[in-house]
Structure 1
Amino acid sequence: MKLLPQLICRARKSAFWLWVMNLVLAWIIPFNRPHGFRIAMISENRARSAASWRRVNRNHVRGIHACAIATVAEMSAGFLLLSRLDPGRYRLIMARLEVDYSYQAKDLIVSESELSDERLLQEVIEPLRSQEKVSIRMRSEVRDRSGNEIAIAHTTWQVKRWDRVRTRV
């Protein structure tokens, strides 16, 4: 668990380490590997994930499949939250996913999510001092290479301290 925070820190500053981090993520999350989902950018308060317009991601009308769009949106929000919390101390589980689709994607798509320091402190860190678990709703905007809005997704994440988790991993 100590490797990921160090990798994220390096990936914020270096394209090489971002590439290395994506290799590690492809190994850790085998579902994403054939789809080519990747983190395109990670900063302190923002994350972008991307998916290519490739055969495995397409639907019957040759657009990017709705589930691929939803997964890219989930990835930017979840990874941003994970990058802001110590994965050795906190467990994240996606509890809800809502997506409003507005345009058919026929090109590379990028999802962007944002989380301010104040919001993280008010909605996650402070409440976890007195509560066993909290939920935070994250917004992700998915756009294609031309800037068309493809979808807006909202993911609700349950955050819990590992010392409060009662099920085995």
Structure 2
Amino acid sequence: MKQLNNLINKAKGSPFNLWMLNQVLWRAIPFNSPHRFKITTVTDENVVITMPYIRRNLNHIKGLHACGLATLCEYTCGMQLMNVLGAANYRIIMKDLHMDYHFQGKTDVSVDFRFTPQDAAQINTELESTDAVFKTFKLPVFDSQKNHICTATVNWQIKKWDKVKTKI
């Protein structure tokens, strides 16, 4: 987990390391690899990930597949949470995901998710009095023509690793 955080931090200031982060994640998360999600921006405040309009991401009517869009949103949100909170410090698990579809995707789409260190400080404060925090985030997805394709509502459980119980 520390290696992932180090790679993310390097990618913030280097196009080469951003490319390397994408390569590593395509290998480390093999079920996302065929989609060719691409992190185009990563900062302390936000992450932008695109999903290309390619054959493997299409449904039977040549629009972007609903499940691919849902995966894109979950991936983007999770990536920024790990970026800001730190994967070595917190266990982050998606509790539920709800999608609202507005427009058929016929070009590349992207998600720009903002989660800042100030947001993380609020979570830290809440975790001082409880074992786990549930946070819900909305992620709008837009295509290259700025059409609002869909909106994801993702609910995450966030826990410090020392509060995680792995045995019953």
> Where on the TM-score scale, by shorter chain, does this alignment land: which range?
over 0.9
Structure 1: gaps spanning 5 or more residues: none
- How far residue 119 of structure 1 moved from its aligned partner, in angstroms, is 2.6
1:152 to 2:147 alignment:
no
CA RMSD between the two structures: 1.2
Match of 1:143 in 2: 142
User: Matched residue of 2:156: which SS?
Assistant: strand
User: Matched residue of 1:69: which SS?
Assistant: helix
Q: Return structure 1 stretches of 4+ with deviation > 2 angstroms.
A: 116-120
Separation in 2, partners of 1:38, 1:128: 32
* TM-score of the aligned structures, taking structure 1 as reference length: 0.94
1:96 to 2:104 alignment:
no
* TM-score of the aligned structures, taking structure 2 as reference length: 0.94
Is the contact made by 1:97 and 1:153 (CA closer than 8 Å) also made in structure 2?
yes
Is the contact made by 2:108 and 2:143 (CA closer than 8 Å) also made in structure 1?
yes
- How far residue 65 of structure 1 moved from its aligned partner, in angstroms, is 0.4
Match of 1:131 in 2: 130
The residue correspondences of 1:12-51 to structure 2 (distance < 5 A) are 12-51=12-51
1:115 to 2:115 alignment:
yes
**Percent of aligned positions that are identical:** 36
Separation in 1, partners of 2:73, 2:40: 12
- How far residue 106 of structure 1 moved from its aligned partner, in angstroms, is 0.8
User: Matched residue of 1:94: which SS?
Assistant: strand
Separation in 2, partners of 1:19, 1:152: 27
Matched to 2:17, the amino acid is W
Deviations 1:78-121 (A, max 9, x none): 11111011211211100011111111001111011111333322
- How far residue 127 of structure 1 moved from its aligned partner, in angstroms, is 1.1
State how many pairs are aligned: 167
Structure 2: gaps spanning 5 or more residues: none
